[in-house]
Amino acid sequence: MKKRKSLFSIHRWIGLIAATWLFLLGITGIFLDHDEWRWLKQTEVPESWLSSSMMRYLPATIMRYVVVDKKDSNHWIGGSERGLWKTSDRGLNWNKLPFPNNQHPQVTRLAKINTNERQMIVLATDDGLWTMNGLDSDIERLALKGKFISMVSPGSSEDEIIGVENFEKIFRLNISQPSKIEFIDLNKTKITGLPEHVNMYKFLFDLHFGYGIFSRQLSTWINDFGGIALMILSMTGFLSWYMQKRWRRKKDRAPSRDQRIIFSKSVYRMHAPIIGLLGIIPILYLSMTGILFNHILTFINWGEKIDVERSKLPYVWRYESLKGEIDQVVAYPDSPEKMSISTRYGVLNTKDGGLNWIRDPITGSERGQLFRADDHVFYSNNLRQFFTKKDGQDTWIKMTGIPTIVYDAEFYDDGLMIKNSRGFFRDSGGYNFEMDEMKHPDIKAATLYLFMIEVHTGNAIHPQFKWISDLFTIMGVIMVITGPILWLRRKW
C-alpha cells in the first residue's frame, strides 16, 4: 500500500510539473503532422517570431516552382504553398497572381507544356488542377476539383499530363478532354531492387513524422492519437487534482458526495483505462524519438551507423503496396508505358505501365525531388546528390555547386536555371552551378507552420530549451510507465 501511494505521488506530481509542456507538444505535433492544412501554411506571422536557424527555411515557403517565358527571359512565374507570383523584370518586382473567386489554393507543382504554338502551364494544387494559357493569361480550373494533387508533370504525348493524387494514385489526363481521367492500376505491382537494410536514423525519422508504420494516412492518424492522448491526459490529470483540492478548501460550496464520485470516476476512466492505455505505444515512440531529434546531429551520427533488416520493419517498409508512397512522377516522350516515381527508397522505374518497378541504384534510398524540365529529368535529395539526364540517355549526370535540394529547373536563352530553397542558380557550364542575382519575392512574413515547429522544438523559448524539453519528455515517459501499474489495482 505504501509503495502504491509513493508511486501515485510520483505519477501525480511529475504530471503536474510537465503537463503544460506535454499539452503543447501534443497539439503542435498534430499541427505539424498535417502540412496539407492550408491555413497553417498561409497564415502569416512576423519574421521575428522565428529563430535564426529556422529563418533559412523561410525562402522555400515563398517560392519553390518556376516557369520562364520562352520568348522573354525577363518574364517569370513562381509558386509555392503560399501562392503564385509573376515578374516582368527578372525578379526586381513581383506581383501576386489571383485565382478566380478570391480562392487561394496551395500550389504544389507547376507543369510546363511547351510547343511551337503555345506555352501552357498546369498548376497542381490542394484543390485540383488549374491552367494558364501563357504567362499573361488568367488562371482557369481544369479538373479534379477538391482533390489534393501532390504532383503534375508533362505526359508522354504533347497534350497529356501525368500526376499524383494525394501521394496515392497516378493519373493521366488529356488537356483537351479534362473530364476523361485515366488512373493507373497499382494494385498488383512488383517491386525489385529494394535494399535489404534500412539505417536506424531513417526508420526513426519516418516513425516520428507519421510515415513509419502503415500507410501515410493511417500512420499519421496513429501519431495524431498520440498527440490527442498527451493533451487529454494533461488536462484530465490537472483537472482531477485541481477539483479535489478545491472541494477540500471550499467544502460548503462543493457538490454532493454522489456528484463528486460521478465526476471523479468519469475523469479517471477517461484518463487511465481509456486514453492512458490506448496511448501508451504512440506516446512512448513519439517521446523517445522526440528526445533524439532534440539532438539531431548526434542522432544522425548514431542512427546512420546502425542497420535494420527491412523485412523486420513495420508493414509500410516492405512495399507490398505503393499507396501513400508516391512523392513525384515523371513520364517519357512517346513511351506511355515508361514512368519514374520518387519514393522513400529513391527513384523507381517501370517500363510496363506500372506492373513491375525496379529501384534506380544510382539515386540511393532516400526521399528526394524528381521532376521534368523540357527534355531533361532532374533528381536531388538531402544527401546532396544532384542528378540530371536527357531523354534517350540511361546515365545520370552529376550537378555541382548546388547547396540544397532542387525543386525546379528551366531552360531558356541564357542556359539552365534551377530553383532551390536558397534562390536561383545558373549553369555556368557542364552542369556546374553558381548563384544568380535573380531574387524571389521579398515577403516580410513567416508562416504559422514554421512557428509551430519553433514551439514544438522549444526554440521559441530558447535555443537550449531542448534540455528542459528532454526532462519534461522523460517525465511523460515515467507517467506512461507508472500509469498502467497504478491502473492494475483500480481498473475501472
For cell 483505462, name the residue: 273
Lowest mean pLDDT among 221-235, 245-259, 284-298, 320-334: 245-259
| Among the listed residues 206, 350, 395, the one whose alpha carbon sits nearest the alpha carbon of residue 286 | 206
62-79 mean pLDDT: 93
**DSSP of 349-405, one letter per residue?**
EESSTTSEEEE-SSS-SS-EEEEEETTEEEEEETTS-EEEEETT--S-EE-BS--S-
Check: CB of residue 27 under 8 Å from CB of residue 231: yes
Ordered strands of the 356-359 beta sheet: 190-192, 356-359, 346-350, 335-343, 328-332
| Among the listed residues 472, 377, 378, the one whose alpha carbon sits nearest the alpha carbon of residue 18 | 472
DSSP H or E segment with residue 167 = none
pLDDT attached to residue 223: 95
Joined grid coordinates for residue 448: 504559422
434/468 Cα distance (integer angstroms) = 42
DSSP 210: T
Lowest mean pLDDT among 93-102, 196-205, 265-274: 265-274
Q: How confident is the model at residue 1 (pLDDT cuts 50, 70, 90)?
A: low
Q: How confident is the model at residue 12 (pLDDT cuts 50, 70, 90)?
A: confident
**DSSP of 428-449, one letter per residue?**
-STTBEEE-S--------EEHH
Check: CB of residue 342 under 8 Å from CB of residue 368: yes
| Among the listed residues 44, 12, 51, 43, the one whose alpha carbon sits nearest the alpha carbon of residue 456 | 51
Is residue 238's pLDDT more than 60?
yes
Check: CB of residue 315 under 8 Å from CB of residue 214: yes
List b or e across 211-227, with b for residues whose CB sees 16 or more CB atoms inside 10 angstroms: bbbbbbeebbbbbbbbb
Is residue 116's pLDDT more than 80?
no
pTM of the predicted protein model: 0.91
Joined grid coordinates for residue 364: 540511393
For cell 539532438, name the residue: 295
- pLDDT tens column, 139-169: 999 999 999 999 999 999 988 999 999 999 9
Q: How far is CA 219 from CA 27, 37, 215, 303, 328, in A?
A: 17, 17, 6, 21, 20
Task: Outline where DSSP puts E strands in 227-310.
Answer: 307-309
Mean pLDDT of the chain: 91
365-389 mean pLDDT: 94
Q: State whether residue 214 is helix, strand or coil.
A: coil
List b or e across 19-45, with b for residues whose CB sees 16 or more CB atoms inside 10 angstroms: bebbbbbbbbbbbbbeebbbebbbeeb
28/279 Cα distance (integer angstroms) = 17
- pLDDT tens column, 337-358: 999 999 999 999 999 999 999 9
pLDDT attached to residue 119: 87
- pLDDT tens column, 301-315: 999 999 999 999 998
- pLDDT tens column, 191-208: 999 999 999 999 999 999
